[in-house]
Structure 1
Amino acid sequence: MTSDPHLTYRAPTAIRDMLFTTWSLLGSFTADQKSRAQFPFDDPARVDWDFIPKPDRTGVPLFELDRHQKALAHTLMRAGLSIRGYSQALAVMATENVLRATEVIDRGFGVYAADFRDPENYLFSWFGRPAFEDTWGWRVMGHHLCLNYTVVGQEYLTVTPTVLGAQPFPAGVLDPLGASQRMAFDLLGRLSPEQRATTHIHDVAPADFTTRQVPKVGDVELPDHVDLGIETYETTDDDRWALRFEKASPSGLNGAELSTDDLALARDLLLHFVGTGPDELARQYRLAVEAEPADGLTFAWAGGLRPDTSYYFRVSTRRLLVESDNAVAAGNHIHAIWRDLDNDLGHDLLLGHYARHDHRRGAGHLRRRVVSSTVADADFIASRSQV
């Protein structure tokens, strides 16, 4: 699971609230809605968290729900987020109204924009059987928002990848990612020229996340050439290599080279993203990050060095990775993500759970209730009968 005593992934309050709210919401669905909202835990859709507009997304959208169901859906979102994280998610969704208004003018979408940019076109999906002792997950996904939750044995919780985006940036008073961007530029501005040169790994920003939308970050990841096929912003193979993320030795400025105050700011920048998650987990991550040696952190920057340019930054530790990309619209279109390098979508926790699982633990109890001992305990009965 984890060797860090600070990070247990146990979040009993959040897990309880998620389960009971899920029961209420699914219980209110029609048979058709349930068929579109619930999937086996091993369904490939669970690990496809690409948040761009797609016609084949799974789930039931907010706009289909009645007033009571929408309240339950928002209660479920709140269970998986801190109050700040929840308000940021709401701001991301509300920004669709502003984006629709601007695209009617900029792209000539006309009446079609009302369907394409919809603050309620966010879909809820569940994977596995939401129940006591079971392993299951749920997700809410739409334009510039993807929240992924995996509950392992109704005991452990993971909340990554967590994606928030912003377009336009800012959208009037709606500014869901503004604080993180200001923190990043503050940190960059505090560096010495020599430190900034080490931090600035490339003069071209990636078109999107360096780690793309993979279910689990590999040892080495490279960004794609383009974002969403927008060929007006394209990177070369040389750019991709310069921007690569190597898990064992990330490029950029090592935390051991930062002053005490600047190291604290770099950690706060990382934890600002982590703090969107439920408080129980955010506290664990904070303790783990603060206990990690300074040389476990790396800060990297690419592209322009001013807010009105195409830029990208990332902060990583041995366990966590934050990426924020503002490239394709020159400072007016942000994609931001935080990832748990071991436990995106519950990866290592699931492996550990299945390795530890036997007939005495977890959901095995539920299976034993409905299977004859002649079958379930055949070996045990045979061994005792021979005595």
Structure 2
Amino acid sequence: MVNTPQDMTYRAPGAIRDMLFTTWSLLNGFTADQRARAHFAFDDPRRVDWDFIPKPDRTGVALAELDRHQKTLAHTLLRSALSLRGYSQALAIMATENILRELEVVQRGFGAYAADFRDPEAYLFSWFGRPGFEDTWGWRIIGHHLGFSCTVVGQEQLTVTPFAMGAQPFPAGVLNPLGESQSRGFALLHRLSPQQREAAHIHPVAPADFTTRQVPYVGEVELPDHVDLGIESYAITDDDRWALRFERDAPSGLNGAQLSADELGLARELLLHFVETGPDELAAQYRAVVEAEPAELLTFAWAGGLRPDTAYYFRVSTRSLLVESDNAVAAGQHIHAVWRDLDNDLGHDLLLDHYASNDHRRGSAHLHRRITSSTESDADFIAARRLR
């Protein structure tokens, strides 16, 4: 059976319902070409690629291709996976592409093609599997600094991780989608005593990107890469990589048992600030689990500089959750942040249990029964009744 945290059912009937009906409306309005580029088998390997850096070979249909009605539906689908705050953050990230484009025309010498490279509508939607009653399927949005994957298991359970957001520049005028999370991180850091801060500060050098990188499932030990893809001006050594490693069973940093009640509350709220970008039904379950867990299951770690204008990184982890926030490249002007469900990123353990306990060779159980003679499907039941 699935090793889920106590009280986590992953059931989100409202969000799943909205996702299903909005998906039907969108896919039914696509042209044959759009559908071919947006809809794939559930076991397509591209389903687990959630990397949000610019790539020339991304799958899906972009917002820019959609007509006015389809764009409204696409935003309705996006909102179904997000809290109101999370949705507003996503919109701010998209809008920031306009500012980044104008800055890079000057900073990088981009010419006319800058409008295609930094585009607030270059966010692609893809679907995997058969979206239907009792089915297992998923959908994803991905683009620069925004990417998450929704996995619907048997039309009953939902996961939305890995859930990644970024910000560049930081801040971008009044647009500051990750500003509050960074302020919360520094507030906790500066609340600590010198001894606590020393325990939390695991390394003087920050990683170039996530310690867990963009792997589909976090292993027992994960090491950051030497550089962030395409940004080789900031690099770390093998010694740095080892010092920054994340070990699921023994994460480095300051243990929650070493925190006062107020400090522990700040650490939990920092973690939940990221988690509560997701749908309210799941966020409430995660909050209940985090608040009920023993303090020693939480760890807070910091690396790099101790001021906002330096290259820095922090993470908060529990038995089942991990948040990473990295602001290393461009010295505090380029944030990558992610929150992960260590057991159920991309529906991992839920899917294992689902497939182990059901026969999916001919579709979901109820759909199978609707088109199969009782002589076959209920042979044992009929035989037993006849013997009564």
1:151-191 deviation digits (Å, cap 9, x = unpaired): 00000000100000000000000000000000000100011
2:170 is aligned with 1:169: yes
SS in 1 for 2:235: coil
Counterpart of 2:103 in structure 1 is 102
5 Å-filtered alignment, 1:237-316, equals: 237-316=238-317
For the residues of structure 2 that align with 1:236 and 1:353, how far apart are their CA atoms? 42
Counterpart of 1:153 in structure 2 is 154
For the residues of structure 2 that align with 1:114 and 1:339, how far apart are their CA atoms? 32
The answer to whether the Cα contact below 8 Å between 1:140 and 1:146 also exists between their aligned partners in 2 is yes
Counterpart of 2:367 in structure 1 is 366
Counterpart of 1:6 in structure 2 is 7
1:298 CA displacement: 0.2
SS in 1 for 2:125: strand
1:213-262 deviation digits (Å, cap 9, x = unpaired): 00000000000011014221111100000000000010000000011101
SS in 1 for 2:113: helix
| Deviates most, 4-13 or 59-68 | 4-13
For the residues of structure 2 that align with 1:14 and 1:237, how far apart are their CA atoms? 43
Structure 2 letter corresponding to 1:319: S
The answer to whether the Cα contact below 8 Å between 1:37 and 1:59 also exists between their aligned partners in 2 is yes
5 Å-filtered alignment, 1:31-46, equals: 31-46=32-47
For the residues of structure 1 that align with 2:375 and 2:236, how far apart are their CA atoms? 63
1:358 CA displacement: 4.4
1:372 CA displacement: 4.4
For the residues of structure 2 that align with 1:229 and 1:170, how far apart are their CA atoms? 22
Counterpart of 1:63 in structure 2 is 64
SS in 2 for 1:137: strand
Counterpart of 2:226 in structure 1 is 225
1:109-133 deviation digits (Å, cap 9, x = unpaired): 0211001000000000000000000
Structure 1 letter corresponding to 2:87: Y
The answer to whether the Cα contact below 8 Å between 1:9 and 1:281 also exists between their aligned partners in 2 is yes
The answer to whether the Cα contact below 8 Å between 1:153 and 1:362 also exists between their aligned partners in 2 is no
Q: CA RMSD in A?
A: 1.8
5 Å-filtered alignment, 1:93-242, equals: 93-242=94-243
For the residues of structure 1 that align with 2:152 and 2:283, how far apart are their CA atoms? 16
Counterpart of 1:49 in structure 2 is 50
For the residues of structure 1 that align with 2:191 and 2:363, how far apart are their CA atoms? 51
For the residues of structure 2 that align with 1:229 and 1:71, how far apart are their CA atoms? 33
Structure 2 letter corresponding to 1:158: T
Counterpart of 2:91 in structure 1 is 90
Counterpart of 1:24 in structure 2 is 25
1:354 CA displacement: 1.2
| Deviates most, 2-11 or 334-343 | 2-11
**Residue ranges of structure 1 left out of the alignment (5+ in a row):** none
1:6 CA displacement: 2.1
1:318 CA displacement: 0.3
Structure 2 letter corresponding to 1:32: D
Equivalences, count: 386
The answer to whether the Cα contact below 8 Å between 2:313 and 2:324 also exists between their aligned partners in 1 is yes
For the residues of structure 2 that align with 1:72 and 1:246, how far apart are their CA atoms? 41
**Residue ranges of structure 2 left out of the alignment (5+ in a row):** none
**TM-score normalized by structure 1?**
0.96
SS in 2 for 1:346: helix
The answer to whether the Cα contact below 8 Å between 2:4 and 2:343 also exists between their aligned partners in 1 is no
1:216 to 1:3, Cα distance in 2 relative to 1, 3 A: closer
SS in 1 for 2:340: strand
The answer to whether the Cα contact below 8 Å between 1:130 and 1:137 also exists between their aligned partners in 2 is yes
For the residues of structure 1 that align with 2:381 and 2:115, how far apart are their CA atoms? 64
